[in-house]
């Protein structure tokens, strides 16, 4: 059993000056693929379950328990993390189910409201020994919130971390959620200034829209936890399309989900090596 806390993985990467991959689980096949990727790359991984994912499954507990079970069977260090929770009740449920880390997303709230609510959630998490990530400066993209000009101010970020007690901070530096083209331009100078200003690791959301070279530069500038979802979903979906197009008689979903799982695992393993600043090869 190698289930660990994101605290351990993110802290180790921050000390080493490398990145750690945090990939979103959509369903059981995703979780299995991501563990396969970790084992293939011989690198740790963080499996993330978002509030959107819980809504899709009609509740948090079933997908959460399944993902924890998959993580416990891994031969490499795997953490399971709650991603983009906007409701304190969901954070409490994740803590009760045994999650070692959570993200409370108050990034869309006015600053003072974000501070107050994040601080309250962080107090609850820390009382349970749980690592907590916060967000400052809304990362655009979802639900029409595309805002490429939003940036996190280093001085405000320092004050936010001090006031809330979060252990890691998601910052807005030019990325955007749900991008299918890898064309986002990151403010590397701002990343370096944020890294110098803050006592906690930085988290990059919306990394699917960022090229390999820019992600590697962002890690070197001070990014530690690198979140990816849409990019990997594309590999999964493309493999399903190819398999179904090749045989229109298929009715057993395992026949097309297995190659999709393999495609996702291969790309996730490559990205884990990229974030660790190892030779990851060319992007597929």
Digit-coded pLDDT (tens) for 7-43: 999 999 999 999 999 999 999 999 999 999 999 999 9
Residue with tokens 């079933």: 62
Sign of CA dihedral 135, 137, 142, 145: positive
Report if residue 281 sits inside a domain.
no
Encoded tokens for 69: 């079970």
The CA distance from 26 to 36, in Å, is: 15
Residue 106 confidence (pLDDT): 87
How many separate domains does the chain show?
1
CB atoms within 10 A of CB 192: 16
- The three-state DSSP-derived secondary structure of 95-112 is HHHCCCEEEECCCCCCHH
**Strand, helix or coil for residue 177:** coil
The CA distance from 214 to 207, in Å, is: 10
Sign of CA dihedral 214, 215, 216, 218: positive
CB atoms within 10 A of CB 275: 30
Report if residue 282 sits inside a domain.
no
Report if residue 48 sits inside a domain.
yes
What is the H or E stretch that residue 4 is in?
strand 3-4
Is 83 annotated in the active site?
yes
Report if residue 283 sits inside a domain.
no
Report if residue 180 sits inside a domain.
yes
One of 83, 105, 167, 187 is an active-site residue; which one?
A: 83
Report if residue 40 sits inside a domain.
yes
Residue with tokens 């993985």: 9
Residue range 192-223, pLDDT digits in tens = 999 999 999 999 987 777 889 889 999 999 99
Using the predicted structure, report yes or no on whether residue 143 has a pLDDT greater than 50. Answer: no
Residue range 59-84, pLDDT digits in tens = 999 999 999 999 999 999 999 999 99
**Strand, helix or coil for residue 279:** coil
Report if residue 7 sits inside a domain.
yes
Using the predicted structure, report yes or no on whether residue 266 has a pLDDT greater than 80. Answer: yes
Ranges assigned E (strand) in 143-232? 168-171, 202-204, 223-228
Using the predicted structure, report yes or no on whether residue 123 has a pLDDT greater than 90. Answer: yes
DSSP 69: H
Q: Do 230 and 212 form a contact (C-beta atoms < 8 A)?
A: no
Residue 140 confidence (pLDDT): 46
| Structural domain for 122, as ranges | 3-275
Distances (CA, A) of 265 to 55, 92, 101, 220: 24, 31, 23, 25
Report if residue 88 sits inside a domain.
yes
CATH code at position 257: 3.20.20.70
CB atoms within 10 A of CB 189: 10
The CA distance from 207 to 218, in Å, is: 10
Please count the helices (runs of H) and the strands (runs of E) in the chain.
11, 9
CB atoms within 10 A of CB 59: 11
The CA distance from 175 to 189, in Å, is: 14
The CA distance from 242 to 136, in Å, is: 40
Q: What is the pTM of this model?
A: 0.91
């Amino acid at each position: 059993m190698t289930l660990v806390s994101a605290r351990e993985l993110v802290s180790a990467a921050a000390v080493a000056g490398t990145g750690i991959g945090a990939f979103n689980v959509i369903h059981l096949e995703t979780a299995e693929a991501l563990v396969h990727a970790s084992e293939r790359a011989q690198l740790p991984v963080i499996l993330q379950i978002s509030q959107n994912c819980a809504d899709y499954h009609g509740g948090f507990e079933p997908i959460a328990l399944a993902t924890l079970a998959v993580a416990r069977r891994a031969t490499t260090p795997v953490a399971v993390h709650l991603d983009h929770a906007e409701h304190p009740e969901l954070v409490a449920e994740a803590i009760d189910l045994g999650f070692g880390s959570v993200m409370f997303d108050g990034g869309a709230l006015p600053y003072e409201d974000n501070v107050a609510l994040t601080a309250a959630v962080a107090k609850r998490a820390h009382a349970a020994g749980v690592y907590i990530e916060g967000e400052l400066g809304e990362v655009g993209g979802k639900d029409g919130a595309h805002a490429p000009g939003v940036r996190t101010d280093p001085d405000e970020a320092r004050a936010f971390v001090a006031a809330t007690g979060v252990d890691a901070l998601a910052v807005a530096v030019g990325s955007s959620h749900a991008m299918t083209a890898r064309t986002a331009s990151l403010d590397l100078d701002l990343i370096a200034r944020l890294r110098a200003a803050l006592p906690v690791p930085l988290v990059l959301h919306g990394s699917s829209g960022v090229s390999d070279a820019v992600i590697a530069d962002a890690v070197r500038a001070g990014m530690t936890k690198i979140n990816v979802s849409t990019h990997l979903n594309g590999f999964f979906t493309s493999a399903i399309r190819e398999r179904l197009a090749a045989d229109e008689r298929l009715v057993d979903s395992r026949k097309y989900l297995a190659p999709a799982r393999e495609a996702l695992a291969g790309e996730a393993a490559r990205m884990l090596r990229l974030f660790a600043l190892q030779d990851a090869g060319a992007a597929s």
